[in-house]
Structure 1
Amino acid sequence: MVCGVALGALSPPSALGWLAPLPLGLLFRAVAHASPRQAFWMTWIVTTAMFGVMLIWLPQSLGETLGWGLSLLFPVLVGLLGLTCAATVALTRWAAGSWTLGALPLAWVLLDAVREMGPLAFPWGGLGYFLSETSLVQVAEWGGVELLGLLVGGAASALAAWSWRGVWVALLWAGALTYGVTRPPEVPGTRPALLVQGAVDPRAKVQADAVREWQRYWSLTKEAQVGAQTLVVWPEAAVSWPPPAGLQMPVKGAVLLGASAGGTTPRNSVFLMQGNAVAGRQDKVHLVPFGEFFPGQASWPGAYRTVFRWLGLPDLLGRVPGHAARPLQLGDLRAGVLICYESVFASQARELVAQGANVLVTPSNDAWFGSSRGAEQHFRMGRVRAVETRRWWLRVGNDGITAVVDPQGQVRRRLVRFTPGTLPVMFDVREDRTLSVQWPGWVVWGAALGWVLICLHMRTVAHICRQSRC
C-alpha cells in the first residue's frame, strides 16, 4: 500500500514524477516472485491506493457541487480501476513466467491504451503522465504518452531485476533527457487570440438564465476591444444554444464558443461563429461516464431514478455524444477542438492533427473540481497533447485553467483562476506532423507484439519441459 500511496503522490502536478519507477519497481519485483493469485492481490492493493491518492480530489469536488452522497461511489471507482491493473498483472505473471519483468511494462502500456477505448473510457492517470513535468516529456513527439509509459515501466522493471541489463534502460533515459534539455526554445507566436474566462458557479448554471449567460460573455469580450483578426475562445458550456433572439455577437471576427445544445438530443458542443453566422460545429465525442451520460439509463430508468433520489439529486438526463471530431476551419486556421475531458485522449488529438488541424483548442469547464488539484491535474495531462503533436494549445476554462501552451508544452501565459477576465495571447499554426501523428499506434502495437511473443515463448518452453519431464 505504501508503494501505491507514493505513486499517487508522484502523479501530476507533482514535479517528482520521474521517481515513479522506484515504488513501481518494488511492486514489479514482488510480483515477479509471487504466484498469479498473489500478484493479483498485491497489485490490486497498490493500484487502488495509487488511484485513491491520485483522485482524492474527486469526492471533495463532487460533494461540494452535487452533494456528499455521490462521494460514496468513490471507493467503487478506485477499486474498479485497481481491478483492471490487478487482472492485467496477474495474467502477465501467469503467461510470462520467468520473463514477467520483461513483459510487465508492455502489459501496462496495453492497459493504458485499452482504458482509452469505449464509452466507459477513463485514460486518467496513465503511466506516461508521471513524466509530464520533466524534460523527458519531449520524446512524446515520437511515440506519444505511450512511449513515456514504456520508459517508466522499463525503468521499474530494470530496478526490479537489478542486473546489468538495466544499463540499457539508463542509456535510453539519458538519451531522452538529453534530447529534452537541448531542444531550442519555441519561437513566439504571431497570431492573436482572446481567451474569455467567465467564472460562473456551476451550481448557478443549473438554473441558467440564457440571456444573462450570453450577456456576461458578450460584455467580457466587448471590453477587451479585440481586432477583426483575433480568434476569441469561450469555455465549454459557456452559454445555451441557440442564442436569444436579437442578440448580436460582440465582434466581427471569429468566436469559438462552448454551448449546451438542447432539444430532443442534448449535446455538449462548440460552435465557430463568424459574425452572426455559424461557420462550423463540433459535438463532444468522449463524454464523462456517469457525469455527462449514464450508461444503460434508457434500459434501467427506474434504477437510476432510485439512485438519484438516494443521493439527493433530481432526475438527471445524459447528453448524446458526437459521431466524429473534425477540425473547424477558418481561412488557413484549422482548429482541432478537444472539449474538456477529451484533452486526456491522445488518440483524438492525433487524429485531428492527421486530418489537418494546425492548432489545438480546448474549451473546458473545470469549475466542478473546485479548489482541489483536479483542475491542475487535468491541465498538466492535456499539455502532453501539445508535445505529442507539436501544436500550440489554447485552453480556456469557465473558472480556469485558462492558458496558452506552446508546442514544447511550456505555458506562455496563464490567467488567475476563479475570477472573470480575459487573456490576450499569441499563438501560431504548425503544419508539420510528428512521428506520433504519422504512426499513432506503433508503440502500442509493438508492445502487443512483444507481450505475445514473450508469452508464447514461455508457453512453448513450458510445453517442452512437460513433454521431456524436465
Structure 2
Amino acid sequence: MIAAAALAALSGALQVLTFPRFSIYYLAALSIAPLLLALARADALGGPSRKRRFLLGWLAGTIFWGGSCYWIYGVMHDYSGVPAVGAAAIFAAFSVVKGLHLGVFGLLAGPLLRRSWATPAIAALWVAIEGTHQYLAFTWLHLGNAAAAMTVLAPLAPYTGVYGLSFALAMMNVALALVLLRRPRKQLAWLAPLALLPLLPALPEDEVGSHEVRLVQPAVHPDELLSGNWTSQRAGEHYREMLRMSTADPTTPELLVWPEYSVPLYYFDSEPQRMLVELVARKVNAPFLFNSVTFREEDGEKRPLNSAILIAPDGELLAYYSKMHLVPFGEFVPWPFSLFINKITMQAGNFLPGDKVVVAEANGHKIGAYICYENVFARGVRQFVAQGAEVLVNISNDSWYGRTAARYQHLLIARMRAIENQRWILRATSDGITTVINRAGQITTPLPSFEPGVLNSKFDYSDEMTWFALYGEWFWYLCLATTPALLWFSRKS
C-alpha cells in the first residue's frame, strides 16, 4: 500500500507541475497515469479495495488542490483577518474537501480499469467529476486548460469546450497506464479517434486585429488601502492620475477599459464620481467601461452588487451588468464562517449576485463584459456570446494574490475561454496580467505586473458562433449521462 500511496502522491504532484507557475503542460497527458497504477495495485492486494481506492484518489486530489491553490492561505491571512494558524487550518480544510472529488474518481475508476473499454470510460468519468466543481462552491483549473497552448488539441475546444480537451488528455493517461500494466494492445485502439484531431480547422494563430482598445492598469495594491494612508486627498490624486493615464495618448481608441480594483467607484450614488467618469469618456472620446459598486434593495436593506458599467463618449449610460458568480469569502462569507472571518472586499455587507446576462452595444458592435472570477465558468462566459457579444471584456482584480501563481493560472483559464468561443478577450486587471487574447488563445505583449501602465492594443470583432457557444457544455452532460451506465455495466460484466 505504501507503493500505491507514493504513486497517488506522484500523480497529485505532477498535476501541480502541469499548471502555472511551473507550466509543464505536456504533463497533463501523463499526470493521472500514476494514480491509475496506484488503483491497480490497490485492487491487486485482494479483499475489499473500495476504501483503498477512495483514499488514494483523495490523497492525489488533496496534493493537487493544495499545491496549485497554495495562495489561498495568503489571501485568508492577509486580507480576511484570520490569524496564521486559522488561515493554515482553512487552507488545509479547503485542500482536503476539494480533494474528495478525486477520491470519488479513485473509488469508481478502479473497476473500470479492468475493462477492455477502460480508456473512454475512465476519461468520461474524469470529465463527469471535473464538471461538478462549478456547482460545488469553487472551481479553478481543469485538466483541459493545459491544452490551451497545444496546437493539435486546442482546435477541439470550439466544439466541446474545455471538457473535450480534458477527455482527450484523460484518454492518453489511461492508455499510458494500460501500457505500463501490460494490457493487450488492442485496448489502445480507443485512441484512434485522436488521430483525426489534426483534421480539425486550425485556430487563427498570429491573428492581428484592426480595432484599438485602451486598457488601464492602476496597480493600486490592497495593502495601500489597508495601511490607513488612503485619505480622501490620496483618492483624489489617484483619480487624477487615472485621468492622465487614460488621456496621455492623443489617439482615440474604440474602447477604454478600467479594471475591477480595490478603489471602488459608486457611479449611481456619487455625483462627483459620476462626473469624473463622464469627463474621462469625453476627453478620450470613446465608450468607457469601468467597475462600480451598485446597490439593490432586498428585504428593506440596501445591498451592494459588483458591476461593470459602459458609458458613451458623451457620458450617457449605455448598459451595466452585475456579477453573477461571486467569490466565496471574497464577496460574501457563507454562514457560519461569517461569525469569525471577514470577506476580502472592503465594501460593507455581503454582495448580491446579479440576475441576468447583459450584452452592451457601442460603435455598432456588441460587447460582453464579465468580472474577475466569472472567467472560470465556461457556461457563464458563453452566455454572453450566445446573446450576440462580438468581443469579450474581462475586468479583474488579482492583486489579492500577490506574487503567487494565481494570476498566471487565471490568465491560462481566460485563454481557454477565448478559444472556446472564438472571441477576442480584452483583459484589464488591477496590477496584472493586463493583455489582449486573440481567438487562438495567444496573448499580446502584456503590461508588466505590479506597475501602473496603459496598454493600447489591437483586437477584432467576430460574429462566428462556435458549436460550444451555441450548445454550451453538451460534452460534459454527455459524459455525466453515460458514466452511470458505464459503471453499472462494469459491475454487471
Name the TM-score class by shorter chain. 0.7 to 0.9
Runs (5+) with no aligned partner, structure 2: 1-8, 44-48, 297-301
Map of 1:60 onto structure 2? 74
- Does the 8 Å CA contact 1:367/1:399 hold for their aligned counterparts? yes
Distance 2:119 2:189 in 1: 15
- Does the 8 Å CA contact 1:211/1:244 hold for their aligned counterparts? no
Please give the TM-score of this superposition, normalised by the length of structure 1: 0.87
RMSD: 2.8
Q: Give the aligned residue type for 2:309.
A: F
Distance 1:380 1:312 in 2: 23
> How far did 1:141 drift?
1.1
SS of the residue corresponding to residue 106 of structure 1 reads helix
Which of the residues 18, 25, 30 maps onto 1:22? Answer: 30
1:3-402 aligned at under 5 Å gives the runs 3-32=11-40, 34=43, 35-66=49-80, 69=84, 70-93=87-110, 98=115, 102-117=120-135, 120=137, 122-135=138-151, 136-162=153-179, 163-165=184-186, 167-168=188-189, 170-176=191-197, 179=200, 183=203, 185-205=205-225, 209=232, 211-227=236-252, 229-237=253-261, 239-242=264-267, 243-245=270-272, 246-247=275-276, 248-250=278-280, 251-261=284-294, 264-274=302-312, 275-296=314-335, 300=336, 304-308=338-342, 317-402=349-434
SS of the residue corresponding to residue 318 of structure 2 reads strand
SS of the residue corresponding to residue 347 of structure 1 reads helix
Q: Give the aligned residue type for 2:412.
A: R
Distance 2:483 2:64 in 1: 24
Q: Between the two proteins, what is the percent identity of the paired residues?
A: 26
Map of 2:489 onto structure 1? 457
- Does the 8 Å CA contact 1:112/1:123 hold for their aligned counterparts? no
> How far did 1:133 drift?
2.8
Residue 314 to residue 212, structure 1, CA distance change in 2 (3 Å): closer
Residue 171 to residue 94, structure 1, CA distance change in 2 (3 Å): closer
Alignment length, in residue pairs? 450
Residue 95 to residue 10, structure 1, CA distance change in 2 (3 Å): closer
Q: Which moved more, 1:205-214 or 1:388-397?
A: 205-214
Residue 262 to residue 231, structure 1, CA distance change in 2 (3 Å): same
Residue 413 to residue 193, structure 1, CA distance change in 2 (3 Å): same
SS of the residue corresponding to residue 265 of structure 2 reads strand
Please give the TM-score of this superposition, normalised by the length of structure 2: 0.84
Map of 2:472 onto structure 1? 440
Q: Which moved more, 1:104-113 or 1:343-352?
A: 104-113
- Does the 8 Å CA contact 2:111/2:490 hold for their aligned counterparts? no
Distance 2:425 2:492 in 1: 49
- Does the 8 Å CA contact 1:404/1:425 hold for their aligned counterparts? yes
> How far did 1:290 drift?
1.4
Distance 1:313 1:362 in 2: 18
Distance 1:63 1:178 in 2: 50
> How far did 1:13 drift?
4.7
Distance 1:435 1:315 in 2: 39
Q: Give the aligned residue type for 1:203.
A: D
Q: Give the aligned residue type for 1:254.
A: P
> How far did 1:62 drift?
4.3
SS of the residue corresponding to residue 418 of structure 1 reads coil
Residue 3 to residue 185, structure 1, CA distance change in 2 (3 Å): closer
Map of 1:406 onto structure 2? 438
- Does the 8 Å CA contact 1:60/1:372 hold for their aligned counterparts? no
- Does the 8 Å CA contact 1:333/1:358 hold for their aligned counterparts? yes
Distance 1:315 1:72 in 2: 26
Q: Give the aligned residue type for 1:125.
A: L
> How far did 1:88 drift?
3.8
> How far did 1:315 drift?
11
Q: Any idea what the Cα deviations from partners look like across 1:246-278, whole Å, max 9, x if unmatched?
A: 434223321000122357111111000113221
Runs (5+) with no aligned partner, structure 1: 462-470
Q: Which moved more, 1:385-394 or 1:161-170?
A: 161-170
- Does the 8 Å CA contact 1:256/1:270 hold for their aligned counterparts? yes
- Does the 8 Å CA contact 2:212/2:254 hold for their aligned counterparts? yes
Distance 1:24 1:171 in 2: 20
Q: Give the aligned residue type for 2:489.
A: H
Q: Any idea what the Cα deviations from partners look like across 1:416-456, whole Å, max 9, x if unmatched?
A: 11111110011110001111112223211221233132123
Distance 1:77 1:377 in 2: 18
- Does the 8 Å CA contact 1:60/1:71 hold for their aligned counterparts? no
Q: Any idea what the Cα deviations from partners look like across 1:3-31, whole Å, max 9, x if unmatched?
A: 21121111235442222232311212332
